Amino acid sequence: MTTLSQDDVRTALCTIVDPVSGKDIIANGMVSGLVIKDRNIGFAIEIDPADAEHMEPLRKAAERAVLALDGVSSVSAVLTAHNAAPASQPEAAPGAPPKPTDQPAQAPATSLLPDVAAIVAVASGKGGVGKSTTAVNLAVALSSLGQRVGILDADVYGPSLPRMLGITDKPKPLANKRIAPLEAHGVKVMSMGFMVPEDTAMVWRGPMVIGALEQMMREVEWGALDVLIVDMPPGTGDAQLTMAQRVPLAGVVIVSTPQDIALIDARKGMNMFAKVNVPVLGIVENMSMFICPNCGEQTDIFGHGGARAEAERLGCDFLGEIPLDVAIRITSDSGQPITASEPDGPHAAAYRDLASAVLAKISTATMRPAPSISID
Ligand code: ADP
């Protein structure tokens, strides 16, 4: 079998023409994150989100072109939103000697986070469903179960972990030029929010997102951890793809509200992870039901139970449900997550149940040694 090179793949992709610009997708700088793992190929095609609806044929054509290469057994191309102009560095001409950036960008996972036993992403199809709240309380709950836990805020567009964990310090550089993570409620924490105020609008181009995430993994002295929780940005984009392709995720927990799952946002998120072969550990239904603080009556504001039914339908696990309770909002928005501030209450118990369910899932799942990519 001949060994496939990045140039072979790029040459094949030169035949695919972007209908918007009329240029081929390599010349137009639209291909990023190219991964070659044995006979499996993965890459992203960066498009303007406004064109997303019309780009599916292009994605499929790109997959077909690479699949036609000798020795390729599977190809996964993912469309990723990119508003900015294509990278100023032109792509290497096919056959040209590879520049440093043309090397497979994916460092072996072990060099990024060598002492982390399981990396678990917490994701959602859209914003505002309580993903960060769930990630934080899950992390604290895991720590209360005796795990060594870290939490990485991959939501570079809207980092909220410093506020939710009540951290106002900045991380300190260590003598070895690495960065010490901060610590709160027994959990090690790293977030872009330590560098940039939460209300500062950040405009990130795809490569910047990838760079920031890699830095927070590679240059932070996480030490030995049993679990690293990664709070993903909402939706599907560069951050998700980076994490899915560059670190061996043990799996992803999808947070959904009952109405979100009905509106298929959560399903889109799940499909994206399935596409890049990241196991979906299961779905959590957040804001599942409202318990009146005065009379104790339960009201199913968003139609409680949708996520459980959807999980069953999709054949994935239902990991638990967290009620809509103002105490969860107040504690998480004031830096005192309810798992830490009211550890004996019912909500902390619900998060511990979630933590136990996640632990059970990751103890049976093996960490993937490297990205593995499959055909649709
Ligand atoms: P996301 O990360 O999905 O954007 P957040 O975790 O930031 O969402 O939550 C959005 C808002 O909803 C926050 O003010 C948070 O405190 C609140 N919230 C999240 N989960 C709950 C819940 N179960 N009960 C009450 N408020 C919640």
CA of 130 from ligand 1 middle (Å) equals 4
User: Hey, CA dihedral for 229, 321, 165, 345, is it positive or negative?
Assistant: negative
Cβ neighbours for 108, distance < 8 A, ≥ 6 positions apart: 370
35 C-beta closer than 6 A to ligand 1? no
Q: How far apart are CA 262 and CA 258, in angstroms?
A: 7
CB 165 within 8 A of CB 143: no
Range 116-364: architecture per CATH: 3-Layer(aba) Sandwich (3.40)
158 C-beta closer than 6 A to ligand 1? no
pLDDT tens-place values along the chain, 376 residues long: 567 888 999 999 999 999 888 999 999 988 887 777 778 787 878 877 677 667 888 988 999 999 999 988 878 777 776 644 333 333 333 333 333 333 333 333 445 788 899 999 999 888 889 999 999 999 999 999 999 999 999 887 778 899 999 998 888 888 887 889 999 999 999 998 887 666 665 566 666 777 788 888 888 999 999 999 999 988 777 778 777 777 888 999 999 888 766 556 667 777 778 777 888 899 999 988 887 778 878 787 767 777 787 788 777 888 999 999 999 999 999 999 999 999 999 999 999 999 999 998 887 654 444 333 333 3
Shortest-distance Cα residue to atom 16 of ligand 1: 329
CB 353 within 8 A of CB 361: no
CA of 137 from ligand 1 middle (Å) equals 11
325 C-beta closer than 6 A to ligand 1? yes
Q: In 235-248, which positions are buried (b, 16+ CB within 10 angstroms) versus exposed (e)?
A: bbbbbbbbbbbbbb
CA of 329 from ligand 1 middle (Å) equals 6
The one-letter code for the residue type at 336 is: Q
Q: How far apart are CA 134 and CA 140, in angstroms?
A: 10
The one-letter code for the residue type at 13 is: L
282 C-beta closer than 6 A to ligand 1? no
The one-letter code for the residue type at 238 is: D
Res 85: pLDDT: 38
332 C-beta closer than 6 A to ligand 1? yes
Among 140, 329, 342, name the best residue to mutate to test ligand 1's pocket (greatest count of ligand atoms within 8 A of Cβ).
329
272 C-beta closer than 6 A to ligand 1? no
CA of 127 from ligand 1 middle (Å) equals 9
Res 200: pLDDT: 63
Considering the entire predicted model, what is its pTM? Answer: 0.70
Q: In 270-294, which positions are buried (b, 16+ CB within 10 angstroms) versus exposed (e)?
A: bebbbbbbbbbbbbbbbbbbbeeee
248 C-beta closer than 6 A to ligand 1? no
Place domain 6-80 in its CATH homologous superfamily.
Answer: Fe-S cluster assembly (FSCA) (3.30.300.130)
130 C-beta closer than 6 A to ligand 1? yes
Shortest-distance Cα residue to atom 5 of ligand 1: 130
Q: How far apart are CA 256 and CA 321, in angstroms?
A: 10
* Residue 232, CA distances (Å) to 73, 90, 101, 122, 200 in order: 30, 30, 25, 6, 19
Q: Integer distance in angstroms from the first to the last C-alpha of the chain?
A: 24
Cβ neighbours for 214, distance < 8 A, ≥ 6 positions apart: 112, 242, 246
Atom number, ligand 1, closest to the C-alpha of residue 133: 6
- The domain limits of the chain are 6-80, 116-364
